[in-house]
């Protein structure tokens, strides 16, 4: 839970710096990459 809070804080700062749309794209790309890597390693 703590890690999620830290991630949310970083995401909020990133959104302020780069804009919301860019942040959403980056997060989705990161999640997609993590999912694919997890799936490939199985």
Could you read off the pLDDT of 3-42 as tens digits, one per residue? 878 888 888 888 888 888 888 888 899 999 999 988 888 7
The domain in which residue 12 lies consists of 2-41
Written as six digits, the tokens of 24 are: 């959403």
Rounded to two decimals, the pTM is: 0.51
Give the count of domains, the chain: 1
Helix (H) or strand (E) holding 42: none
Q: What is the DSSP letter of 1?
A: -
Query: How many Å apart are CA 36 and CA 34, to the nearest integer?
Result: 6
pLDDT of residue 33: 92
């Amino acid at each position: 839970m703590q890690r999620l809070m830290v991630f949310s804080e970083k995401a909020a700062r990133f959104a302020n710096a780069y804009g919301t749309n860019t942040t959403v794209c980056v997060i989705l790309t990161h999640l997609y990459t993590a999912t694919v890597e997890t799936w490939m390693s199985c």
